[in-house]
Structure 1
Amino acid sequence: MNVLRKSILIGFTVLGMAAAQAQQTTPPAGRHDAGERREHMQEKMGEMFAKRQAKLHDALKLSAQQESAWATYQAAIKPAAMTGAHPERGAFAKLPAPERMAKMLDFSKQRQTKMEAHLTALTAFYAQLTPEQKTTFDDRSMGGKHGGGHHGGWGGHRHG
């Protein structure tokens, strides 16, 4: 279970860093504004998430009785839309160091709360799976053999 928590934590950290990096990147003159970039990125990430989940769903070959557990699990882990909760880079840099650290800690606590909710949903769904389905799920999600995170897993490219 500790490995699962670490994998989830690493995943959300990577997501947070990618989102922060994408927000900090400025487009060339005449390109989309920050709101349009964010919206486009959210759309693209949502599509990638849906494709990964559809592949996982197909690979699991869920029974009719398991479908409601799948739907509940999907609703709980669906990525939330990014909001303007993060301060702009310049404004954040102008804060005194203790305030910056306090804000960083607040963001970390928010991520932790989301991860705990995801873990609860995952545990409930996982309990509904057969041993074969658990093996498939383990191999295809959150950094398993076939990945499920970014670019097919934590370590690189999808192999299967």
Structure 2
Amino acid sequence: MKTYRKHLLAALSALTLGATALGAHAQTTDQSAPQARHGMQHEKLTPEQREQFRAQRIAKLHDELKITPAQESAWTAFVNAMQPPAHAQHDRAAWTHLTAPERMAKMIEMQKQRTAALEQRQGALNTFYSTLSADQKKTFDEKASHFGHGRFGHGHRGNTAQG
């Protein structure tokens, strides 16, 4: 009987220690949560707030790159080409009436449109990038890594190093 009590007491102690450790871990995780949730918080912004955030990031990158007057027109063309695409509203009811092959064909067509838009952005990026000095290219490569995701000024989800 004494052995049973010892085992029970040991098990309760282990549970208590585990719960304490879990609570400490949760507190540590909660302190870093605002950084980890950056992308999710950003998604809750109004369109006006998103545009303001985007404009601030554009201005900051412009300053960090030290764009010269000779590069200004290429910069402006680049920024205009990198405008976020309008989010098309899809008629979900219409999709439910499509067959599986028709839905797949629609998805392929939408993907082709996205690819064409990315190729157009790549052209603008290449044109602008060719006007940069070696130091500017290095800065651009470090600061603008999220351009490949097609979300100029929005950053990449989970990437908290972007400033």
Range class of TM-score, shorter chain: 0.5 to 0.7
Question: Retained in 2: the 8 A contact 1:69–1:125?
Answer: yes
Deviation at 1:77, TM superposition (A): 1.2
Q: Deviations over 1:32-65 (max 9, x none)?
A: xxxxx9xx85434333322221211111011110
Alignment partner, residue 107 of structure 2:
104
Q: Which runs of 5+ in 2 are unaligned?
A: 1-39
Compute the TM-score of the two structures, normalised by the length of structure 1: 0.62
> 1:74/1:143 Cα in 2 relative to 1: closer, same or farther (>3 Å)?
closer
Q: Deviations over 1:106-143 (max 9, x none)?
A: 11011000000000000000000011100110001134
- Name segments (4+ residues, structure 1) moved above 4 Å: 148-152
Higher relative contact order (CA 8 A, sep 6+): 2
* Amino acid across the alignment from 1:114: A
* Amino acid across the alignment from 1:48: F
Question: Retained in 1: the 8 A contact 2:78–2:125?
Answer: yes
Residues matched between the structures, number: 119
Question: Retained in 1: the 8 A contact 2:143–2:162?
Answer: no
> 1:132/1:46 Cα in 2 relative to 1: closer, same or farther (>3 Å)?
same
Identity rate of aligned residues, in percent?
A: 39
Question: Retained in 2: the 8 A contact 1:73–1:121?
Answer: yes
> 1:159/1:143 Cα in 2 relative to 1: closer, same or farther (>3 Å)?
closer
Alignment partner, residue 76 of structure 1:
81
Residue 127 in 1 paired to residue 126 in 2?
Answer: no
* Amino acid across the alignment from 2:73: S
Q: What is the distance in 2 between the residues matched to 1:122 and 1:151?
A: 17
Alignment partner, residue 7 of structure 1:
none
Larger C-alpha radius of gyration, 1 or 2? 2
> Which sits farther off after the overlay, 149-158 or 45-54?
149-158
Q: What is the distance in 2 between the residues matched to 1:135 and 1:121?
A: 18
RMSD across aligned positions (CA): 2.9
- State the SS of the aligned residue for 1:78: coil
Q: Which runs of 5+ in 1 are unaligned?
A: 1-17, 23-36
Q: What is the distance in 2 between the residues matched to 1:149 and 1:64?
A: 22
> 1:154/1:71 Cα in 2 relative to 1: closer, same or farther (>3 Å)?
same
Question: Retained in 2: the 8 A contact 1:76–1:121?
Answer: yes
Alignment partner, residue 8 of structure 1:
none
Aligned match for 1:57, one of 57, 62, 68: 62
Compute the TM-score of the two structures, normalised by the length of structure 2: 0.61
- Larger relative helix fraction: 2
Question: Retained in 1: the 8 A contact 2:54–2:153?
Answer: no
